[in-house]
Amino acid sequence: DGNGRWAKKRGLPRKAGHAVGAETFRRIATYCKNLGMDYLTVYAFSTENWKRSDEEVGAIMGLLENYLHESIEKMEKDRIRLKILGDTTALSPAIQGLIDKTDAIAARLPGCFQANVCLNYGGRDEIVRAVNRFAAEHPGETITEAAMAEYLDTAGIPDPDLIIRTGGEYRISNFLMWESAYSELYFTDVLWPDFSEKDIDKAVAEYRHRDRRFGGVKA
């Protein structure tokens, strides 16, 4: 979070902040891969972000389209799987086509580091879509937690151990609401475009000192 504020502080248009934020994602994803992490998930565009100006939404979608083109060219070389999470049906046909191509390439990279990008994503919307899909395929049946997990956008992806919120906001803003039940939360005032490898190290160091009990009591 904080792309727009980063740009405003520098007298730049908001789209400039999103451009730098996209570069931050590329850099942080590579760093997390090199640290030996298996997954990184970023919240790129929420279901609520459509309320922003047409100019800003267009700029974000343009950056996304460019990133998808680059990923198609680099995924196999970089050994990074890209996965888009969210309701992609509302996206342009061009972007949907690029997502299909990245999915096909990702299928050829089992076991590689995976970067998940939440696009047109909302935690509540994800849960509603999952329940509706289950109900359509299993009419009259009662859904269970295990079944629910299979119908989420994150099916097959472990729940996040650590959620980092940048930009000085102290809420998760509809992000991975089902999956974050026992995630550790880390908040920082650093704006996303300024977020660095050192900031990742700091967050991970604090996470390692957390006592994770998952609702139980340690002996």
Catalytic residues: 1, 49
134 contacts: CB under 8 Å, gap ≥ 6: 141, 143, 147, 148, 151
Cα–Cα nearest to 124, from 66, 191, 175, 171: 175
> Most distant CA pair in the chain: distance in Å?
57
Listed residue (49, 62, 60, 50) closest to 7, CA to CA: 60
Residue 209 burial (10 A CB sphere; 0-12, 13-18, 19+): exposed
For 102-159, the DSSP string reads HHHHHTT-TTSEEEEEEEEE-HHHHHHHHHHHHHHHSTTPPP-HHHHHHHSTTTTSPP
Helix, strand, or coil (residue 183): coil
Cβ atoms of 162 and 204 within 8 Å: the answer is: yes
